[in-house]
Amino acid sequence: MTKILFLLLLSAGIAHACTTVIISGKSTKDGRPLIWKNRDTGRLDNKLSYCMDGRHAFAGVFDVADTAETDCFMGSNDAGFCIINTASYNLKYRSYPGKMDKEGVLMRQALATCATLKEFEALLAETAGKRGVEANFGVIDAQGGAAYYETDPYAYTKFDVNDPRTAPHGYLVRTNFSFSGTPDDGQGYIRYNTANDVFYWGLLGADLTVETILHNAARSLTHSLTGANLLKSALPLDASDKMMIPFADFIPRYSTASSLIMQGVKKGEDPSLTTLWLMLGNPIMTPVVPVWVAMKADQPAMLRHGIHAASPLTAAARQRHARAFTVHTPEGERYMDLAPVLNQQRTGTLQRVAAFDAVTVREAGAMIGRFRANNGLDRGAISDFYRLLESRMKQLDASDE
């Protein structure tokens, strides 16, 4: 028991504790691949930026403080190439003399230069011995490719999600350990088991969809070690009925700054149809917004940020976050007031954003269906949809007051 408590406290203190999945198009409900990341970081203000200084233009998630936009932590480009990562803490390699934690630099380079898994593998070959990374990179492309690359400064091990010998169920989960690394070392085993349960039962129910990831994974409030399920627990009466609970090793955490689900295309479809379902802020505190690389800088106003200022969506999420995490000491990150998040009056942030998103996903899904029928985006329809979404967002923000 002492060892388990130690591991819980240790993992709660790790900032780079991301959770991810890749699902092959062979296993999703609509035949299109899905790739997802909950990003955990010490910098809670994230932004979406459009970059066009490479062979491929791309949209990616950066820290607001990164004004030079040198480190991208997940994103997609105009070729339908999508990339995510998790930090790994158990890969075995000889000492690297350069600076580490350069995963964001490598992902930015990949988005600017790669269209396929093969080109990403060429980039890994080119940077061998010169990249300061210890990470699991997840990639999908518009040709149906889907794989994880467990990567150190010198080498990588590929896990092909389309290969039934590697991924018998058509999906793979990665947290903060690598399967090619030292067994039982690293971090994120509890979150790994929680996420794996989500996708296994989703597979059995033929329900591996954006909605499954959004509601059951990115916002999961179940705990695979303790068996806790906050959605089925005794809830506070209302948002003011304070109820402090331990909140360590759930998939969303104090340090979860953003979440991104990227829905790829079938082989032969226009890569511009790749859809990015973005949550700027902790996913239990913020709604999802669908975006497309082809919209370039014409993104909704709620996502627009200043040089040193977070977007309105991020700022609103941070205010909700502050109401839930009220203990301002180092250990306070492991305790959350459940009342502002879930309560019997259904005024909690998660309850409100989930209801908001049900409408967004349904209406955006119908619009995307029309795009697919025409094999191309309608920029005017997207702009109209954004205006509608922004109007509704004001009502959601007003309900915080």
Q: Does domain 2-398 have CATH number 3.60.60.10?
A: yes
pLDDT at 84 exceeding the cut of 70:
yes
pLDDT at 206: 77
pLDDT at 10 exceeding the cut of 80:
no
Q: What percent of the chain shows pLDDT beyond 70?
A: 96
**pLDDT tens digits, 116-131:** 999 999 999 999 999 9
pLDDT at 315: 95
pLDDT at 13 exceeding the cut of 50:
no
Helix, strand, coil percent content, the chain, rounded in steps of 5: 35, 20, 45
**pLDDT tens digits, 215-243:** 999 999 999 999 999 999 999 999 999 99
Both structure tokens of 127? 């940077």
Nearest to 274 by CA among 290, 289, 287: 290
**pLDDT tens digits, 185-205:** 999 999 999 999 999 988 877
Nearest to 18 by CA among 45, 37, 44, 46: 37
> 190 and 225 in contact (C-beta within 8 Å)?
yes
Interval 238-261 mean pLDDT = 97
Encoded amino acid at 274, one letter: T
pLDDT at 401: 61
Average pLDDT, the chain: 94
pLDDT at 15: 58
Separation between Cα atoms, residue 205 and residue 201, nearest integer Å = 6
Nearest to 34 by CA among 284, 216, 176, 283: 216
Q: pTM here?
A: 0.95
**pLDDT tens digits, 316-331:** 999 999 999 999 998 9
pLDDT at 205: 73
65 DSSP assignment: T
Separation between Cα atoms, residue 261 and residue 211, nearest integer Å = 10
